[in-house]
Amino acid sequence: DSGVTQTPKHLITATGQRVTLRCSPRSGDLSVYWYQQSLDQGLQFLIQYYNGEERAKGNILERFSAQQFPDLHSELNLSSLELGDSALYFCASSLSGASENEQFFGPGTRLTVL
Amino acid sequence: GNSVTQMEGPVTLSEEAFLTINCTYTATGYPSLFWYVQYPGEGLQLLLKATKADDKGSNKGFEATYRKETTSFHLEKGSVQVSDSAVYFCALLRGGSEKLVFGKGTKLTVNP
């Protein structure tokens, strides 16, 4: 158990809908990362937050947004969903966001868009 | 840009066989290199890492050596077990960045 929790574990929804994925980092970790794992694109970095502020952005679509709250949990919002958004979404956390800090991954949320 | 290429799977071995999963990278500067493992139904776990050239990362019988001259970080294990069945990801982290760049993953199945 990495100490990172993600809810829900599974999510099934329809095209055009909006969903929110939630992540709670390990106790004491200030940085949260979101990754998308899909069959065609593999594992891709989406976005990183550090202590409530956006720190780095990757291949995140404009239909997607995220935030980190004062209690350090994070939410990833996916809107106007398309079939291609079906994927496993991982959250990871690290102590400070510095490159030498290990990132600990949660179990993921499997999103299925029908 | 930064990228990681790892050998296509799936790889199927018998228990106690020798394992090699090849990984090469392209990066500016001097990245840190990682191997992550994903067991069925679980998230990624860090298996081992190396932060500079000629470093050897090791854990649970797995080893990988950071080879700058060949830009490689091949994963090896002398004697695999059924419990090693998982997907293995090679990844890099460029200095000053927090974005892990992953290879596509290699699925390993070990049969008894």
> Does A95 lie at the interface with B, CB-CB under 8 angstroms?
no
More confident residue, A1 or B107: B107
What pLDDT does residue B40 have?
Answer: 87
CA distance A12 to chain B (A): 17
What pLDDT does residue B76 have?
Answer: 98
Which residues in chain A are contacts of B98 at CB distance < 8 A?
31, 33, 48, 55-56, 94, 97-99
What pLDDT does residue A35 have?
Answer: 95
Cα–Cα distance, A106 to B57 (Å, whole number): 23
Residue A9 has pLDDT above 80, yes or no: yes
What pLDDT does residue B45 have?
Answer: 92
CA distance A98 to chain B (A): 6
What pLDDT does residue A59 have?
Answer: 83
B98 with A48: Cβ contact below 8 A: yes
Identify the band that residue A87 occupies on the pLDDT scale cut at 50, 70 and 90: very high
CA distance B103 to chain A (A): 8
* Angle at B97 (CA atoms; ends B93, B103), nearest 5 degrees: 30
What pLDDT does residue B11 have?
Answer: 96
Residue B98 has pLDDT above 80, yes or no: no
What pLDDT does residue A83 have?
Answer: 96
What pLDDT does residue A48 have?
Answer: 94
Quick check: B111 and B12 in contact, CB under 8 A?
yes
How do strand B101-102 and strand B19-21 relate by DSSP bridges?
unpaired
DSSP state of B8: -
Mean pLDDT, residues B10-33 taken together: 94
Which residues in chain A are contacts of B89 at CB distance < 8 A?
43
What pLDDT does residue B20 have?
Answer: 97
What pLDDT does residue B97 have?
Answer: 73
What pLDDT does residue A99 have?
Answer: 62
What pLDDT does residue B2 have?
Answer: 87
Which residues in chain A are contacts of B99 at CB distance < 8 A?
45, 48, 56, 58
Identify the band that residue A98 occupies on the pLDDT scale cut at 50, 70 and 90: low
Mean predicted lDDT score pLDDT of chain A: 93
B43 with A90: Cβ contact below 8 A: yes
Cα B68 to the center of its chain, rounded Å: 15
B26-75 pLDDT per residue, tens: 998 889 999 999 998 888 999 999 999 999 999 999 999 999 999 999 99
What pLDDT does residue A100 have?
Answer: 65
Residue A36 has pLDDT above 90, yes or no: yes
Of B10, B11, B51, the closest CA to residue B34 belongs to: B51
Cα–Cα distance, A44 to A38 (Å, whole number): 8
Cα–Cα distance, A21 to A63 (Å, whole number): 14
A100 with B32: Cβ contact below 8 A: yes
Residue B3 has pLDDT above 80, yes or no: yes
